[in-house]
Copies of this chain bind each other. A is one copy, B any other.
Amino acid sequence: MRLPDPIQKIASELSELPSIGPRQAIRLAFYLVGRSKEDIRALATGIDNLRNLKICERCFFIHQNAGALCDICSNPNRNQDLIMVVEKETDLVSVENTKKFTGRYFIIGEIPKTGLLAEWQKLRLQSLKNWIQKGEWRTENGGRNGQANEIILGFNPTALGDLQASLLAKELTPFAKKISRLGRGLPTGGEIEFADDETLGSALDRRS
C-alpha cells in the first residue's frame, strides 16, 4: 500500500537517524500525525533551531558562543595540558557531569568497527596534533616542546574500545608525555557475585 507522501518522506528521513530502523520510523511518523498541530510545529521548530548551533574549532563539541571556541575550550581555568579524547559528545557530557575532570576534551567521533579512521576523523586528528604542536593554547604557560602533559583515551572498556585506544595511542604518543586510559574495576553499586571475570580481575589488579 502506498503511504501518503508526507508520511513516506518523514519516515525515510527518520530512518536515516542512528538506531532508528525503517519500521520504527513509520511508527514514529504515524505517532506524530496523531499529535496536535502545535506539538508537531514545536518539534519541527526545535529541530530547525539546531541549525544555529556551532561546532568548536578545537574540540568539536557544540556551542552557541560568538567566537569559534566552546565554553570549555574558551575557559582559561581549564587545565590546558590535559586532554581527554572521547568518541561522542554524550561521552563528554557524562565525564563533565562527574565534575572531576579539569582538562580539555577532544571529540574524535564514533570510530568504525574496522578500526580505520574515516577521512574527516583523520582531519580532526591532524587538527589536534597541530594545536598541540603549535602549543597555541599554552602560550600563557610558555608552551612545552609541542607536547601535552597527558592525553587520556576515554574509550569504552570493550574489545572495540581497546582497539580504538591502541590506534590512537600509536598516533598520539609523540604528542604527550603520558598516554592513559580510564581505570577499570567494579562499578559503584555493583555486586561482586555478578561481576564478570575480566572486571573482577581488573578490580584485583588495581586494588587500592
Q: A interface vs B, CB < 8 Å?
A: 1, 3-7, 9-10, 13-14, 17-20, 23-24, 26-34, 37, 40-53, 55, 62-64, 88-90, 93, 96-97
Contacts and interface: CB of A to CB of B under 8 A. Distances in A.
Contacts of A24: 19
A31 B17 contact: yes
Given A10-B47, A17-B31, 11 more contacts: A6-B46, A6-B49, A10-B43, A17-B28, A17-B32, A18-B28, A20-B28, A30-B88, A32-B50, A34-B55, A47-B47
A39 to B, nearest CB: 8
Given A24-B19, A26-B93, A51 B40 contact: yes
Contacts of A3: 93
5 tightest A-B CB contacts, nearest first? A44-B48, A1-B96, A10-B46, A30-B89, A44-B47
16 contacts: A4-B62, A5-B64, A6-B52, A7-B50, A17-B31, A27-B88, A30-B89, A32-B47, A32-B50, A33-B50, A33-B55, A34-B55, A40-B50, A41-B51, A43-B47, A44-B44
